C-alpha cells in the first residue's frame, strides 16, 4: 500500500488564492515556523530550493575528487585515516542534501543525470587541481572554513529538510576545518620545503575560496527573494567580508602571506579590505572552462557508467526476493 502523496504542483502566481496563501506563507516564516514537504509554498520558493540544494549536493560529491586523489598518498597512518574520514563525510553530506532536494519532489536519478549532462552547476572551487599534499590542508582550512560560514547561516533556513541537513553538516564540518588548520600550522613551522609548500597552497587557493561566496551582491539576482523567504539571511558580500576578517589574522599568526598585494587593514571599520576579485576567471570556471571541469565530470560519468550493472543487479535480486515472499517461496 502506497501512502505517499506527490507534492502538489501548486503555488503559481496565477492561482486565484495566490496572494492570500503567499501572505500566510510569509507570516509563517516571519514567526520562525519551518516549512515542511506537503505545506503550501510558492512555486518560486520550491524552484529556488531545488536549484540551491541540488547545487550544494553536487558540490559535495564532486568535491570528493580533488581530495580523494591524495588519499593514496597521505604520508602517515593518521593522516590517511583523517583524509578518508573527511572525504567520506563529503559523500555523506551530499547524501543528506540530495535527501533534502528529494523532499521537494525530484528524484536523485534526475539530479544526477543533469549533473553528468553538464546541465547542473556545482561550486567552482572544486574545478581547481590539487597539486601538493599541502593543498589538502589548505582546502580543509580555507575551503571548508568558507563552507562553514555559509552552512551556519543556512542552518536557520525556513525549509525544514534543508535546515536539518545543514545542522547535521555543521556538526561534522568543524573537524574538516580543524584538521586542515592543524596540518598547515605544522607545515608553516616545518622544513623549508614544507613552508614553501604551505605558502604555495595558499597562493593558489585564496582567490577560489573567496569566490565560493558567490558574485558580488550587485550581481546576485537570486539573493533578494532568497532573503525574503528566509532561505538566506546574509548577503554574499557580508559573509565574504566576515570570512576575510576572521581568517587573515589566522594566516598571519603562522607567518603565511595572503596573495593579495592590495589587501589592507582599515583602522576605522576594523575590516580587512580585499583587492579586486577576478570575476572573468570565476565565470569562465563556472561555465565549464576551469582547469579541471572536464576531468571532474569525466570521472563522475565513468563511475556512474561502470556502476550501472551493479545498481541493476541489486534491484534484480531484490525484485526476485519480493516475488518469492509474495508466493511464499523461501529465499
Partner 1 sequence: MNDAQRQALAERLLALADDELILGHRDSEWTGHAPILEEDIAMANLAQDELGHAAIWYGLHQELTGQDPDRLAFQRNALDYRNVQLVELPIGDWAFTMLRQYLFDAYEMLLLTRLRESAYTPLAQAAAKMGNEEIYHYRHSSAWVQRLGLGTEESHQRMRRALGELWPYVEELFVPLPGDSLLIQAGVFPDLAELQEAWRQLVQPFLAQAQLPLPDVPALPVTRQDHTEHLIDLLADMQMVARSDPEAVW
Partner 2 sequence: MTDTQWPRYEVFKQDKPHKPHEAVGTVHAPDPEIALQNARDVYVRRPDCYSLWVAPESAVFKMTAYELEQDPAWHVEEIPPDAPPQTYLVFTRQHHRRSMVAASHVGQVQARTPREALRRAMEQEAWTARPVYLWWIVPQAAITASQEEDVPSMFAPAQEKTYRDQSHYGGIIFGKHLQKKRQQKQKQPQEKQERSA
- 24 interacts with partner 1 by CB under 8 A: no
CB of 110 to partner 1, least distance (A): 15
- Give φ, ψ of 159 to 5 degrees: -85, 115
String of contacts with partner 2 for each residue 11-30, x by CB under 8 A: -----------------x--
Binds partner 1 (CB under 8 A): choice among 117, 186, 227, 329: 186
Residues in 78-107 that interact with partner 2 by CB under 8 A = 78, 81-82, 85, 88-89, 92, 95-96, 99, 102, 107
What would the DSSP string read from start to end of 243-278?
A: HHHHHHHHHHHTTPPPS-TT-EEETTTTEEEP----
Sign of CA dihedral 149, 152, 153, 155: positive
Rounded Cα gap, residues 228 and 235, in angstroms: 12
Cell of residue 221, nine digits: 539576482
- Comparing CB distances to partner 1, the nearer of 45 and 133 is 133
Cα–Cα distances (Å) from 309 to 299, 305, 306, in that order, read: 17, 8, 7
Residue 321 contacts partner 2 per CB under 8 A: yes
Distances in Å between the Cα of 132 and the Cα atoms of 67, 109, 205, 287 are 10, 34, 12, 26
For 33: left if phi > 0, alpha if psi spans -120 to 50, otherwise beta; the answer is beta
Binding mask 67-106 for partner 1 (x = CB under 8 A): -x--xxxxxxx-xxx--xx-xx--xx-xx--x--------
> What residue 61 binds from partner 2, partner 1, none (CB within 5 to 8 A, per partner kind)?
partner 1
Enumerate residues 168-187 that contact partner 2 by CB under 8 A. Answer: 168, 171-172, 174-175, 178-179, 181-182, 185-186
Binding site for partner 1 (CB under 8 A): 61, 64-65, 68, 71-77, 79-81, 84-85, 87-88, 91-92, 94-95, 98, 133, 186, 190-191, 193-194, 299, 302-303, 306-314, 316-318, 320
Amino acid at each position: 500500500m502506497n501512502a505517499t502523496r506527490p507534492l502538489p504542483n501548486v503555488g503559481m502566481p496565477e492561482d486565484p488564492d495566490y496572494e492570500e496563501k503567499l501572505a500566510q506563507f510569509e507570516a509563517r516564516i516571519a514567526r520562525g515556523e519551518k516549512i515542511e514537504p506537503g505545506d503550501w509554498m510558492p512555486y518560486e520558493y520550491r524552484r529556488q530550493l531545488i536549484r540551491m540544494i541540488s547545487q550544494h549536493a553536487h558540490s559535495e560529491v564532486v568535491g570528493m575528487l580533488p581530495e580523494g586523489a591524495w588519499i593514496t598518498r597521505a604520508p602517515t597512518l593518521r593522516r590517511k585515516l583523517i583524509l578518508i574520514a573527511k572525504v567520506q563525510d563529503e559523500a555523506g553530506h551530499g547524501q543528506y542534501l540530495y535527501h533534502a532536494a528529494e523532499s521537494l519532489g525530484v528524484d536523485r536519478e534526475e539530479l544526477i543525470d543533469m549533473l553528468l549532462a553538464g546541465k547542473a552547476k556545482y561550486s567552482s572551487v572544486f574545478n581547481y587541481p590539487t597539486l601538493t599534499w599541502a593543498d589538502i590542508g589548505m582546502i580543509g582550512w580555507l575551503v571548508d572554513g568558507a563552507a562553514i560560514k555559509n552552512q551556519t547561516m543556512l542552518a536557520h533556513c525556513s525549509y525544514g529538510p534543508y535546515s536539518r541537513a545543514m545542522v547535521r553538516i555543521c556538526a561534522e564540518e568543524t573537524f574538516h576545518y580543524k584538521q586542515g588548520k592543524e596540518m598547515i600550522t605544522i607545515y608553516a613551522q616545518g622544513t623549508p620545503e614544507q613552508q614553501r609548500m604551505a605558502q604555495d597552497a595558499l597562493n593558489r587557493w585564496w582567490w577560489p575560496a573567496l569566490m565560493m561566496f558567490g558574485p558580488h551582491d550587485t550581481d546576485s539576482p537570486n539573493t533578494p527573494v532568497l532573503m525574503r523567504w528566509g532561505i538566506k539571511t546574509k548577503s554574499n558580500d557580508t559573509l565574504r567580508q566576515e570570512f576575510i576578517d576572521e581568517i587573515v589574522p589566522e594566516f598571519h599568526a603562522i607567518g603565511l602571506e595572503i596573495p593579495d598585494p592590495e589587501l589592507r587593514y582599515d583602522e576605522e571599520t576594523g575590516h580587512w579590505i580585499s583587492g579586486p576579485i577576478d570575476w572573468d576567471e570565476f565565470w569562465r570556471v563556472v561555465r565549464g572552462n576551469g582547469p579541471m571541469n572536464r576531468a571532474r565530470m569525466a570521472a563522475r560519468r565513468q563511475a556512474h557508467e561502470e556502476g550501472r550493472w551493479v545498481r541493476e543487479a541489486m534491484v534484480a535480486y531484490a525484485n526476485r526476493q519480493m516475488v518469492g515472499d509474495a508466493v511464499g517461496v523461501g529465499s
